[in-house]
Chains A and B, each alone.
Chain A
Amino acid sequence: MQYESHKIKDGVELCVIVDKKFKTNTVSITYIGDTGSRAASDYALLSGVLSRSCRAYPSLKQLNIALDGLYDAQLSADTSRCGLSQLVTFSIRSLDNRYSIDGTDITSGALDVLYSILFDPDVNGESFSAEVFQSEREQLKDAINGIRNMRQSYAVMQCTKELMRREPRFSPRLGTVADADSATPAEIYEVYKNILSACPVRICAVLSDGADRVKEFACKVAERIGELKNGNAVTPDFSAPPKRLRRITEDAPIKQDVICVGCDLDCDESDGKEAERALFNEIFFQNPTSRLFENVREKLSLCYYVSASPMTDLKKYVIYAGVDGKNAKKAESEIRSQLELMKRGVSAEELKRCRLTLKNDLLSIKDSPSRLSRWYLIRALRGLPAESVDEYISRLDRVTADDAARAAFSVLPDMVYHLKGGAANEI
């Protein structure tokens, strides 16, 4: 596997990973955007509108037919968040040319589509088409409302919103329905012009072959982008939790309750303690023999799933489980008790076991183009060194049982969010 990174110009960085074992070539372009709820919904609208058509393929059908012809090249446009910064990513994954059975140059064709989508959109003067915009707005509102259908994600999102209550720059990934409703096609076109002229860009390519072609592509992209400054994601400051645990309950007509213990996380991403935190997480919730799994699920039979969502970029940590309503208190108490027990120490045996599993999981990143791409992107966005997976793994060897246990002290419970079911039984 070969890794190289290039600064194409100020604000435009390229990383290229080449490994012959991959059957695909994936190129992604990520813009590091603004913070806040309006930015989140604006970017979500923009990604929907841009990936819907372009001048070369003026309808969804024409675009999808073109992608089919490139051996089902997968175009995606999505938004995400790193710290408080909203990100917009456009990417294309296609088969390597060695799999073309009719001589189609799949890789070049895929890069052309990506370029057209980004830099040659179908516009009416200084605005996107009102019809396309309206349709994408409805899709976005459905997606925002649809988060409720995924009970765990919804509960974790609600808990995170509460944990971030004092941070006005925080927004859920897709923003809000109200923000989506207030946007216009002309405003979103302005947002488009703004990301091209002002937002730092990271281009990441995970390839089977053809690094030179991607470097040319990156230069072509840079020509269309304004004079930028380098930039990383914006992160919030740590805020200590209040002394008294807050409780929030939301009723829903569902069968199973979801209980979330929301915590503040006293850490700094650049403190060099990533490996310690990773091992703490593995022992606490991630491993199939983790403390939470073995105690909350296996010993007490309180749930089917119990897990956690560490958000070091937000300095928050949410522990959650799906439980029968009558066991909610017991589950919450056991989760908090297991967190306290972590502070008392970790055995050498569980450290060894969890370190091995974690190492092997990390090694498997090298088999996955999407995980590899994300590995380097996230490190770059967080201002961390472009460390390889192998280099990171060697750091895990230096973590002691005391280090892993000490990481538990940085997880400070702030609140309990309870998505409370019950009414579904009457349906």
Chain B
Amino acid sequence: MKYELTRHVHEPSGESYVSFRHKSGVKVLVSPNGYTSACAVYSSDFGGADMRFSVDGKVVETPAGVAHFLEHKLFETEDGGDAFRLFSELGADSNAFTSHTSTSFTFSSPMDVFYESLSILLHFVHTPHFSRESVERERGIIAEELNMYEDDPDSRSFNELMKCMYRKNGVRYDVGGTVESIGRITPELLYLCHTAFYRPENMTLVIAGDADPERIAGIMDEQIPEGRYPSVIKLPPKEPEKVCRRLSRIQMDISEPLFSFGIKDSPSSDPAGMRRRGAALSILCSMLFGASSAFYCDCYEKGLISGDTNAYYNYGGDTAYLTVTGESRHPFTVKKRIIKVIEDALKNGVDESEFERTKKVFYANFIYSLQSSSSVAYSLLSFELLHDDMLAYPDLLSSLDCASALGYLRSLYSKDRCAFTVAEQYKEE
């Protein structure tokens, strides 16, 4: 093997992976396992929120939705066909997804066609073909995708919360943009963004399956073009600490109101610090608002909330926030309770044994997330995109304590960082 492999191991669970940097600049992670299907994910550090950047010193501003549009269009091949067909001919299953911070292309296949599938993946991602006609055709398809999400209560509600919390950051827009914004996307803009963000040093390849790193590197040698790539700097807007709006109400055709509560955080540029803060706040959030919390059980038993609530801390790119979301006929009562739970925790502290128990839940969820090739691959990728080592996570969990978690919550919480949105039932005039 001409590359030096770094081996990552978590002894207690027996999980491991190797990583290396390919000569092109792509970071590669390979996790062996005994599953029937292998999975590869090839990801660019270019997401829906990246709307302002410089290319060789020239500032570019894009309409919302370019990363997602690019994700759709990259599947088109030189002959006007599409990569889905090439994967399908091998029996591989392919897909792609775009978030606010990255765009990923993936396939799953048995090992006997894995290397051929990998060639296709790397080839189509690095070989763009955008004709005016095909971009026009795709615009119609994406417009229908956006309309579908417009009718989706969870998606609308989340987007509204982001709009309330963020004044300038691109996360305030739907990843896919709007029907109006995608109307301004041209083949030239797609080529420009592809050149800027699909350069190898901006890419990560994650493989879960019994693949040989040397053979993977050989395929990368063949499929990743060498060349001069431009210098690209992301220029995220400076975001104020306070939320943009503290309350928003939208109306749509839903059976019961949806509430979304968020606290906006200011992420630091220290990955190790954010890793610790993120893990501690996630545990605390689950402990205060999760299925075993007094908040959840009491609200559920009293009929204040329906079904499950989601409560988590999220960070990545230039954003970080804590959210609690769910369904309730009394969303403003629930909001008061959420705030009271936080303020009581800060004033009176929390039960340390509950914190320890919740750490155990997080450890279990870490193991649960390694139950198939695709979930291993996505999990590895999500850690890598945060410059983190997935297998260091259990040790990080065990090193966390209740007092420091409360300290993080204290530094996060203030009323002018909180936003609340309610999606209410549509009422005809």
B145 touches A304 (CB 8 A): yes
**Complexed CA–CA distance, A324 and B142 (Å):** 12
Check if A197 is an interface residue, CB within 8 A of chain B. no
In the complex, chain A residues whose CB is within 8 Å of the CB of B3? none
Check if A61 is an interface residue, CB within 8 A of chain B. yes
B306 touches A322 (CB 8 A): no
A65 touches B36 (CB 8 A): no
In the complex, chain B residues whose CB is within 8 Å of the CB of A131? 301
A288 touches B84 (CB 8 A): yes
**Complexed CA–CA distance, A71 and B361 (Å):** 5
Check if A149 is an interface residue, CB within 8 A of chain B. yes
- For window 357-374 of B, CB contacts with A under 8 Å fall at 357-358, 360-361, 363-365, 367-368, 370-373
B327 touches A322 (CB 8 A): no
Q: If the complex has contacts A60-B297, A142-B255, are A366 and B36 also in contact, measured as CB distance less than 8 A?
A: yes
A68 touches B110 (CB 8 A): no
* Residue ID in chain B nearest A365 by CB atoms: B36
**Complexed CA–CA distance, A131 and B428 (Å):** 35
Interface stretch of the complex, out of B146-154, B342-350, B379-387: B146-154
In the complex, chain A residues whose CB is within 8 Å of the CB of B358? 68
Q: If the complex has contacts A60-B300, A142-B255, A304-B141, are A360 and B35 also in contact, measured as CB distance less than 8 A?
A: no
Range, interface on chain A: 35 or more
Q: Which listed residue, B88, B144, B254, touches A256 by the CB 8 Å rule?
A: B144
In the complex, chain B residues whose CB is within 8 Å of the CB of A359? 91
Range, interface on chain B: 35 or more
A23 touches B370 (CB 8 A): yes
Q: Which listed residue, A20, A142, A298, A304, touches B148 by the CB 8 Å rule?
A: A304
A204 → chain B, closest Cβ, in Å?
Answer: 17
Total A-B contacts with CB atoms under 8 angstroms apart:
188
Q: If the complex has contacts A71-B363, A135-B301, A367-B372, are A304 and B144 also in contact, measured as CB distance less than 8 A?
A: yes
B141 touches A297 (CB 8 A): yes
A360 touches B91 (CB 8 A): yes
**Contact digits for A274-303, partner B, Cβ 8 Å, 1 yes 0 no:** 000000000000011100000001100111
Q: Which listed residue, B35, B144, B151, touches A324 by the CB 8 Å rule?
A: B144
Q: Which listed residue, B92, B94, B292, B361, touches A61 by the CB 8 Å rule?
A: B292
In the complex, chain B residues whose CB is within 8 Å of the CB of A302? 140, 144
Check if A409 is an interface residue, CB within 8 A of chain B. no
Check if A356 is an interface residue, CB within 8 A of chain B. yes
**Contact digits for B300-324, partner A, Cβ 8 Å, 1 yes 0 no:** 1111001100000000000000000
In the A-B complex, the 10 residue pairs with the closest CB atoms: A356-B91, A301-B140, A145-B255, A71-B364, A288-B84, A304-B145, A64-B292, A72-B364, A61-B297, A304-B144
Using a CB–CB distance below 8 Å, which chain B residues touch chain A?
Answer: 12-13, 33-37, 82, 84-85, 87-94, 108-110, 137-145, 147-148, 150-153, 251-256, 291-292, 294, 297, 300-303, 306-307, 327, 357-358, 360-361, 363-365, 367-368, 370-373, 426, 428
List 10 contacting pairs A-B, 8 Å CB cutoff, sorted by A. Answer: A23-B370, A71-B363, A139-B307, A142-B307, A143-B306, A145-B255, A145-B256, A298-B82, A304-B147, A357-B92
Using a CB–CB distance below 8 Å, which chain A residues touch chain B?
Answer: 20-24, 59-61, 64-65, 67-69, 71-72, 95, 99, 101-102, 131, 135, 138-139, 142-143, 145-146, 148-149, 151, 252-256, 287-289, 297-298, 301-305, 322-324, 353-354, 356-357, 359-361, 363-364, 366-369, 421, 423-424, 427
Additional A-B contact list (6), CB under 8 Å, known A68-B361, A148-B254, A149-B254: A67-B292, A69-B360, A142-B307, A256-B148, A324-B143, A424-B150
